[in-house]
Structure 1
């Protein structure tokens, strides 16, 4: 005798984690990063929201999983803040370059950048993610004035460099060692993200 399976949430397991990622990818594409919610993702995946939190530390980590970044953005940002605040800009670009170094991750990031250039949905999700979880968070944490503008300027600097070096493959940037790029862009990012100029009289 067989017993009919009761209705309810999907149990945990490998297929459940995959279903959550698929649902999250759909939510981010349809609503962007800001408006996508853990509750909505859980509903689309047919699981309880608590199960989403069981597999993923938060929305930032879940977004990273949907684009196969294999890194936790909150951990990355935390490492950037370790050390002398006067060298924060240098650590931002150094960390960014280290994330791009592994060839398998670089392929994913290049695909993500290209998608953001050709898809309104992809551009919105990437923009909102970077603004809220990476550059916006860094700028807010420094206590500097105009954090949204500062974060956006830093993001523009970094993404512009990424497009030129990894997508368009401009020879001078491709051939430049990471250490040189860090020393050239570090002061610029420091100026974007941290209040260093004296107050006017």
Structure 2
């Protein structure tokens, strides 16, 4: 009996299997080292189906990469409260996301891909800066909100690289709440402080 190739029979979850494999590989291997063929192999489908359902590798990446939260759901909580505590709220929220397995996987995937793929870098800028950080800076009444948001972004991306990707010690093993408390004053300065 010959092995079946091509489409799985019936409603088999082929698309979902491809997306799950792609999500995992982009997170663990980064954009450059993830291949359509390897995604197909892990999903247990013919490689042509990956292209059929999802187009190019770049299109597949854009389809599976997303923030581990909806900005509209979290912005009200991040904006509620004293303006002088905005850095602490953001620091504790961000660390909470990074410390969850799903959140860390998605954010690390985004940052790894952004380091090697221009379209991924644009996506990261749009997702984090335009949809989360600039609205926070604007919402607390900061002047030059876009610039301040980009400074906050530099701190957050640097933290992701150092703690979760490169695993610089003792930063990588330090308690999450200690890290959040340590970066909060820097985020606060970037959001509301004197930048001259």
TM-score by length of 1: 0.62
Distance 1:115 1:169, change over 3 A: same
CA RMSD of aligned residues (A): 2.6
1:113 aligns with 2:111: yes
1:135 to 119, 133, 136: 133
Distance 1:104 1:129, change over 3 A: closer
Give the CA deviation at 1:108: 2.3
Distance 1:69 1:149, change over 3 A: closer
- C-alpha separation in 2, matches of 1:161 and 1:135: 16
User: Which residue is equivalent to 1:73?
Assistant: 71
TM alignment of 1:120-199, pairs within 5 A: 120-194=118-192, 196-197=193-194
- Structure 1 stretches lacking a partner, 5+ long: 1-14, 22-63
Give the CA deviation at 1:86: 1.6
Give the CA deviation at 1:125: 1.1
Distance 1:94 1:104, change over 3 A: same
- Structure 2 stretches lacking a partner, 5+ long: 1-12, 20-61
TM-score by length of 2: 0.63
TM alignment of 1:16-27, pairs within 5 A: none
1:87 aligns with 2:52: no
Q: Secondary structure at the match of 1:144?
A: coil
- C-alpha separation in 1, matches of 2:67 and 2:126: 16
Deviations 1:15-74 (A, max 9, x none): 9xx8xx9xxxxxxxxxxxxxxxxxxxxxxxxxxxxxxxxxxxxxxxxxx98425442122
Aligned residues: 139
Give the CA deviation at 1:83: 2.5
